[in-house]
Amino acid sequence: MVSSLFDVSTRSWDVSLVKDMFNTRDADLFLGIPLSFATVEDCWSWTGDRTGGYTVKSAYSKLQLQKNTRPGVNNSVFWHKL
């Protein structure tokens, strides 16, 4: 768990543990991520398909359902520029 890589009381990375567990490049990337001071309970950020699985296909389907729900975002302009 990621939570084992930081000190909950000080909300700071356990630098020595991160450097022991990862190569220099990855450790530096981890340590560059700011930790939130919010005390929000962890939750799932995605839901599975009807069988409870999670695949690229199920993620794509979910994104397709949500793609026009954000006001002010014009995806067609993005894709034309791409």
pLDDT tens string 22-79: 999 999 998 999 888 777 776 766 677 788 788 888 888 888 877 665 555 566 666 6
Provide the residue range defining the domain that includes 13. 1-41
pTM: 0.48
The total number of structural domains in the chain stands at 1
| Domain assignment present for 32 | yes
Query: In 1-82, where does DSSP find H-type helix?
Result: 15-21, 24-31, 56-66, 75-81
pLDDT of residue 18: 95
| Domain assignment present for 34 | yes
pLDDT of residue 16: 95
| Domain assignment present for 70 | no
pLDDT tier at 80 (50, 70, 90 boundaries)? low
Q: Which amino acid makes up residue 51?
A: T
Token reading at 44: 């799932």
| Domain assignment present for 24 | yes
